Amino acid sequence: PLECRKKYQRHIQDTFSHIPELNPRSGQKVSHHQRYTELFLRGRKPDPEERGHELLAMERKHQEMEAHPERCPSLGLEGLFGPDAEGRSSRTTVLFGPAGIGKTMALRKLMLDWASGESWPAKFAYAFYVSCGALNGSSETMSLVDLIANSCPPGTLAMEDILMHQDNLLIVLDAFDELNLGNLPSEATRPKAIGSLLQYLRSARCVEVLGFHLAQRKEYFQRFFEDREDGAQAFELVRSNKTLSRMCFLPASCSVICSIFSRTTQRDPLKDIPEKATVTDIYVWLLFKFLGCHSLVNLEGLCRLAKERLLHKTAVFDEGVLKEHGLGNASTHPGILLQDCHVTTTYKFNHLGFQELLAALSFCLLDSDGNTISSFQELEEVFGHQTESNFTLLLRFLFGLCGKTRLDILQGNWGCRTSRNGLWSEEKLLELCHCLYETEDLLFAKNIMRHIHDLDLRELLSTNLDLAAVAFCLSVSDSLQSLHLSDFELGPERLGLLLPGLWKPSVIRLNRCGLTVSTCKDLSSVVAANVSLTSLDLSENPLGDCGVTELCQGLLDSHCQLQTQCSCKRSAQLCREHASSPLLSCRLHGCHLTAAACEPLSAVLASKPSLVELNLGGNPLGDPGIHIFCKGMKNPQCGLQRLKLHQCSLTGAACMDLASVLETGPTLMELNLGDNSLGDDGVRQLCLALKKPDCKLRKLDWYLTKLYYYYYYYYYYYYYYYYYYYIYALLYLSCRNKYANTK
State the pLDDT at residue 596: 96
Does residue 69 sit in the same domain as residue 152? yes
Helix (H, G, I), strand (E, B) or coil at 94: strand
Segments in 116-250 forming alpha helices (H): 132-135, 144-150, 159-164, 194-198, 214-224, 228-239, 242-247
Does residue 328 sit in the same domain as residue 190? no
Neighbours of 309 (CB within 10 A): 19
Does residue 203 sit in the same domain as residue 277? no
Rounded-to-integer distance, Cα 251 and Cα 217, Å: 8
Does residue 370 sit in the same domain as residue 500? no
Rounded-to-integer distance, Cα 715 and Cα 539, Å: 39
Contacts of 29 (CB under 8 A, 6+ apart): 18, 19, 20, 21
State the pLDDT at residue 504: 86
Does residue 621 sit in the same domain as residue 710? yes
Does residue 38 sit in the same domain as residue 162? yes
CB 544 within 8 A of CB 573: no
> Across the strands, what pairs with 456?
484
Does residue 401 sit in the same domain as residue 529? no
State the pLDDT at residue 511: 93
Query: How far is Cα of residue 484 from the mean position of the Cα atoms in its chain?
Result: 16
Q: How far apart are the first and last CA of the chain?
A: 109
Segments in 461-568 forming alpha helices (H): 464-476, 492-502, 520-529, 544-556
Q: Quote the longest CA-to-CA distance of the chain.
A: 111
Q: Which of 391, 414, 437 is a domain's end point?
A: 414
701: which DSSP letter? Answer: E
Q: Which of 367, 386, 414 is a domain's end point?
A: 414
Q: Which residues of the chain have pLDDT under 50?
A: 24-25, 185-191, 385-388, 422, 424-427, 559-580, 705-726, 729, 733, 736, 738-743
DSSP string for residues in 545-575: HHHHHHHHHHHHT------S---TTS-GGGG
Does residue 278 sit in the same domain as residue 399? yes
On the CB side of 350, how many CA atoms lie within 13 Å of its CA? 27
> Across the strands, what pairs with 43?
207
**Inside any domain, residue 440:** no
Contacts of 683 (CB under 8 A, 6+ apart): 652, 655, 707, 723, 727
State the DSSP H helix or E strand holding residue 432, giving kind and residue range, or none if neither: helix 429-439
State the pLDDT at residue 572: 33
Domain count across the chain: 3
**Inside any domain, residue 474:** no
State the pLDDT at residue 379: 62
Secondary structure of 352-412 as H, E, C letters: HHHHHHHHHHHCCEECCCCCECCCHHHHHHHHHCCCCCCCHHHHHHHHHCCCHHHHHHHHH
Does residue 193 sit in the same domain as residue 342? no
Does residue 39 sit in the same domain as residue 126? yes
Query: How far is Cα of residue 713 from the mean position of the Cα atoms in its chain?
Result: 54
Q: Which of 414, 442, 470 is a domain's end point?
A: 414
On the CB side of 295, how many CA atoms lie within 13 Å of its CA? 6
CATH code, domain carrying 167: 3.40.50.300
Q: By CB neighbour count within 10 A (0-12 exposed, 13-18 middle, 19+ buried), where does 102 fall?
A: buried
**Inside any domain, residue 468:** no
Does residue 123 sit in the same domain as residue 30? yes
**Inside any domain, residue 244:** no
**Inside any domain, residue 457:** no
State the pLDDT at residue 109: 93
Rounded-to-integer distance, Cα 308 and Cα 688, Å: 78
The answer to whether the Cα torsion of 258, 264, 266, 267 is positive or negative is: positive
CB 388 within 8 A of CB 56: no
Rounded-to-integer distance, Cα 570 and Cα 246, Å: 35
Does residue 18 sit in the same domain as residue 114? yes
Neighbours of 656 (CB within 10 A): 17
Neighbours of 421 (CB within 10 A): 9
**Inside any domain, residue 475:** no
Phi and psi torsions of 172, nearest 5°? -105, 120
State the pLDDT at residue 422: 44
**Inside any domain, residue 471:** no
212-242 pLDDT tens trace: 999 999 999 999 998 999 999 999 999 988 8
**Inside any domain, residue 259:** no
State the pLDDT at residue 339: 80
Domain of residue 319: give its range: 273-414
Listed residue (598, 656, 591) closest to 622, CA to CA: 598
CATH code, domain carrying 631: 3.80.10.10
